[in-house]
Amino acid sequence: MQQRKNILKTKTIIIDNYQKYWINDTAQGHLIKICHGTNGEQVTELDLRWPNRKRDSTNRVVNEKIKSPRSI
């Protein structure tokens, strides 16, 4: 069996004139808002989503059950 090596890729985002940030929980993950610009007039959003998790009715993170092709 051939093994695949995990290759870590890094992305660096530089935001000049950074002012403030907010992190909000969402049903699928997190939303990060970054306020920047000369007068704070710009907002960049990072919508971070889990591939197989969600929040339940109590806002706890749980794994989603993945349906097998046979059960569809």
Per DSSP bridges, beta strands 42-49 and 53-55 are unpaired
Q: Where are the domains of the chain?
A: 15-50
- Give residue 68's pLDDT: 57
- Give residue 2's pLDDT: 60
Confidence band (pLDDT; 50, 70, 90) for 12?
very high
Sign of CA dihedral 67, 8, 22, 59: positive
- Give residue 72's pLDDT: 53
- Give residue 44's pLDDT: 95
How much is the pTM?
A: 0.68
Predicted confidence (pLDDT) per residue in 18-72, tens digit = 999 999 999 889 999 999 999 889 999 999 998 888 888 888 889 877 665 665 5
